[in-house]
Amino acid sequence: MVETLTMVFSLRFSSLSLPPHNTITLYTLPHVPNHRLRSTSNVSPPSSTLLIKHSLCPCAAPTQQQHLLVPEEEEEEEELKCINESPSLENDSLPPGLRRECMPRHVAVIMDGNRRWARLRDLHVGSGYEAGVKSLKTLIELCCKWGIRVLTVFAFSTDNWFRPKVEVEFLMSLFEGGVKDEMGSSLRENIRISVIGDISKLPKSLEELIINVEESTKNNSQFQLIVAVSYSGRYDLVQACQRIAMKVKDGIIELTDVNESLIEQELETNCTDFPYPDLLIRTSGELRISNFMLWQLAYTELFFTQSLWPDFGEADFLEALQSFQQRWRRYGE
C-alpha cells in the first residue's frame, strides 16, 4: 500500500524571498524515503509527495530550476532552509547589488567609440585605441574577479579593412603588441585566449603569434578571452556552411544530418563551452549589433550605454550586470 503523506501547507511561502514574477508549482508524488535536494530536470512528476519547483532568479534560463522533494513531514523545516539558502554562494568578491547565482557566464562586448573619444580631446585616433586597450584590461580583471567565465570582444570587423591604411596598420601593430604583453600574464593567471575570425588576412607575424598564444593557453580553465578579429557574423555563418557543404560532398555526412546542432559545431565559437553570450554590451550609444555573432546572439540580453569605450569602467559594467540580473529570460515565450 502506498504510504499516505500528510502535506502541511503552512509552509510559510512568504519566507522563500522569491524574485519578482517567480512562480511556485506544486505536484504530488509517491513517498520516497530519504531524498535530498537534487536536480530533477529530466524527471516527470508522478503522484503523492510534495514537489516545489521554483526558478532561482529571473535571469536564469527556464531549464535552470531547482526541484525539492519533501518525503517526510519532519524534514520540512530542513528542506525549506535548503531553498532559502540555495543562492547563498560566496558573494564576498561581488559589489553590493549583484547576485552570484545570476551572474552571466558569457559576456560579449562591442568596443565602440575609440575614435570619437580621441577626436573629442583633439588627440590622434591612435590615442583612442590605446585608451581602449586599458579599458579592456580593466574589464578582463573584473570578469576574473566576479566569476564570469567567458568574455568575447569585437576588436576588428571585416568591414574595418576598408578604413585608412595607416589606421589599419596601427591597429594591427597595437593588437600584436597587446597579444605579446598578455601572453605571459595569461599563463600565470590561468586565462585561455582564443581568436575568432579570418586570421589568414592578418599580417603573417600576427597570424603566427595568434596560433602560438592559442596553443600555449589552450589548457587554461579559469577564464577565457575570445577576441574577434577580421570577424563578422555573416562571415561566421558562411564559413560554417562551407565546412558543412564540404562534408556532404565528401560523403562524411548526409544532407539530412544538417541541423542547428551541426551548424553550431562549425561556428567559430566552437572554441568555448559557452558559445552563446548571456549578455551583449555595446558602448558609444549606437543601438545595433553591427554584424556581430548573428547566430549566437539569438537570445542574448542586450545592453547599450552612452559611454565611449575608453571611458567604460567598473561603474558602467556594474550597471550592465545589474540590468541583466533584473530581466526575466523567457527564451521565446
331: three-class secondary structure by DSSP: coil
Rounded CA-CA distance 213/215 in Å is 5
Three-state secondary-structure class, residue 121: coil
Half-sphere CA count of 100, side-chain side, radius 13 A = 13
Instruction: Please return the burial class of 88, using the count of CB atoms within 10 Å of its CB with bins 0-12, 13-18 and 19+.
Output: exposed
Pull the grid cell for residue 208: 603566427
Q: Which amino acid is at 89?
A: L
Q: Reading across the β-sheet that carries 279-282, which strands appear in turn?
A: 191-196, 223-231, 150-157, 106-110, 279-282, 301-304
Residue 148 and residue 222 in contact, taking contact as beta carbons nearer than 8 Å: no
What does the alpha-carbon distance between residue 309 and residue 127 come to, in Å, rounded to a whole number?
12
User: At which residue does the C-alpha cell 551572474 appear?
Assistant: 103
Active site residues: 112
State the Cα–Cα distance between residues 19 and 50, nearest whole angstrom.
21
